[in-house]
Amino acid sequence: MVSHRTTEPASMSDGHAGTGESPAYATRSYEEALALRPSLDAGLAAAFGGIPPADDVRVTVHSARAEDGHEIELRLHERMETPARGSAVVYVHGGSMVAGRLDDYERLVNHYVHHTGVPFLSVGYRLAPEHQGTVPAADAFAGVRWLFENARRLDVDRARIAVMGDSAGGGIGAGAVLLAREQGLRPAAQILIYPTLDDRTVIPDPTLTEHVVWSYAGNRTAWTALLGTARGTDSVPAAAAPARTTDFAGLPPTYLEVGQLDILRDEAVAYAQALYRAGVPCELHVRPSAVHGFDWIDPAAEIARQAMRDRVRVIGSL
C-alpha cells in the first residue's frame, strides 16, 4: 500500500465487523477496488521511482505454475559481482491486495539486493478482486516452492530461504508461509513490513483517525475485494487473513515492523504476541509517530533510515 487518503463513510462503524458484508456492498467494493487500482499503481511507481538504479543487480525472468495451472511470473534479482550463495529471499509486493506491479517494485527489490548481496525472487501473484480468497497467498507459495525446488541449481541453501513482503504483500507472504508449513516446507524467516493480517480492522480508532494515511475505508474496500461477503465472518481462511490462524507453532522466526500511527499497528502487535506465546522468536518494531508507508513518504528521515538499516541487518543475517 502507499499513501492514500479516503473519506470515512458513516457505515464504517455501523457494526459490520465480524458480521460479513452485504452482497450489495461486496459488489460495490469490487467496483471500487478496480477504480482504486490506477491511483495505487501510480503511487507505488512514484514512491519507488526515486530510488537510485542498482547497476550491479541483474534481473532474470522465470515462471512457476499455480495449482490451477496459471503461470506466475517470477523475477530473480542477483548482484552480479557476488553471485551468491547461500541465502535468498522471496519477495511479495504490496498494493492493498488490488494493485502492485513487478515493474514498479523492481527498484526497491534491487535496492535490497544491492545493499545485502542476497538474491531476491519477486512473485507476480494474481490480484483481487478478480482473484479472491487464498489465490494470492497460493500464488506466493508457488514462488516459495519454486525457489526450494530450484535451490541447488541456483546455489541457494534451502535452509536459508526467507519470505518478505510489505503491506498487503506482508500479509500475503505470511499466508504463503502458513501454506508452506502445511506442505512441509519451512522458510528460515518471515520479514513482514507493516503487513495486512486481519480483515476485521475496519472500525476507526479515534486516537488514530487524524493521523491515518491508509484509511479504514480503504482497508475495508481492499479486504472485501479479496474476501467478498465472507469478510468479517468465521469462514475466512488463515491463508487469506493470517491473523485468523489459531496455531502459530512451527512458524519461522519473524521480523515484524509497523508504525505507531498505522491502523495496522494493533493487528501486527497481536500477531507478534501470538508468535511469542507459541515460542516463535519475533523481533517487533513499532516505529514512533510513523504512519503507514512512512519509509517511502520521507526516505531521508532518520526513522526511515533506521528501518532500512534494520531490514538490511536482518536480510544479511539469513
CA dist., res. 19 & res. 304, Å (int): 37
Where is 207: in which H helix or E strand? none
Q: Is 111 known to be catalytic?
A: no
CA dist., res. 107 & res. 94, Å (int): 14
The active-site residue, picked from 29, 87, 122, 167, is 167
DSSP string, 251-293: PPPEEEEEETT-TTHHHHHHHHHHHHHTT--EEEEEETT--TT
Asked if 294 and 3 touch (Cβ cutoff 8 Å), the reply is no
Cell numbers 517494485: residue: 105
Q: Residue 298: how many CA atoms within 13 Å on its side-chain side? A: 7
Cross-strand pairs, 201:
none
Q: Is 29 known to be catalytic?
A: no
The active-site residue, picked from 93, 199, 292, 295, is 292
The active-site residue, picked from 41, 166, 198, 262, is 262
CA dist., res. 225 & res. 199, Å (int): 11
For residue 187, whether the previous peptide bond is cis, meaning omega lies within 30 degrees of 0, is no
Q: Is 292 known to be catalytic?
A: yes
∠ Cα 246 250 256 (to 5°):
80
**List of residues 6+ apart from 224 with CB closer than 8 A:** 21, 25, 26, 29, 30, 231
Catalytic residues: 167, 262, 292
